[in-house]
């Protein structure tokens, strides 16, 4: 305690010393574990809801809903590729992805550049089996 103008004043810059409490470390470790579990559960739940939203948006786009077409958002092209049969059409890709023909053409061009697919006819493609490396 300091004296200031004749009064007793506590020092503000002094932090309280750590007082060991039996079992406190165990409780803090348990809190950290529970926090990690809660985060994992919430992430799983969020992933489920995001997938449901993607499916609904896909259905709306397939029906030609203008608002859904404007908010196409992210498409999991790897997932689309995996769902395709060995021989497929650009139209099949458009239906699976729920996007327009211009977007499909752009992706087909990229996949051809990556040598994942080859053209077999107008709007017709075939997967190149040796191109996939994981």
Q: What digits encode the pLDDT tens for the residues 56-104?
A: 877 877 776 766 666 556 777 888 899 899 999 999 998 888 788 898 9
pTM for the whole structure: 0.47
- Paired residues of 119 in beta bridges: 125
Evaluate if residue 133 carries a pLDDT over 60. no
Percent of the chain with pLDDT over 90: 44
pLDDT tens digits, one per residue of 7-47? 665 666 666 677 788 888 899 999 999 999 999 999 999 99
| pLDDT computed for residue 23 by the predictor | 87
pLDDT tens digits, one per residue of 105-115? 999 999 999 99
Output b/e per residue, 14-52; b: 16+ Cβ within 10 A: eeeeeeeeeeeeeeeeeeeeeeeeeeeeeeeeeeeeeee
């Amino acid at each position: 305690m300091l004296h200031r103008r004749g009064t007793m004043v506590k020092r503000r810059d002094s932090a309280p010393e750590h007082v060991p409490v039996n079992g406190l470390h165990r409780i803090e470790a348990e809190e950290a574990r529970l926090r990690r579990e809660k985060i994992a559960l919430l992430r799983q739940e969020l992933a489920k809801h995001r997938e449901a939203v993607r499916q609904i948006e896909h259905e709306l786009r397939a029906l030609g809903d203008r608002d859904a077409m404007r908010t196409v958002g992210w498409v999991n092209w790897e997932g689309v590729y995996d769902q395709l049969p060995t021989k497929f059409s650009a139209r099949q890709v458009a239906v699976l992805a729920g996007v327009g023909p211009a977007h499909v053409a752009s992706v087909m061009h990229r996949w051809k550049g990556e040598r994942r697919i080859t053209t077999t006819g107008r709007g017709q493609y075939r997967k190149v089996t040796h191109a996939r490396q994981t």
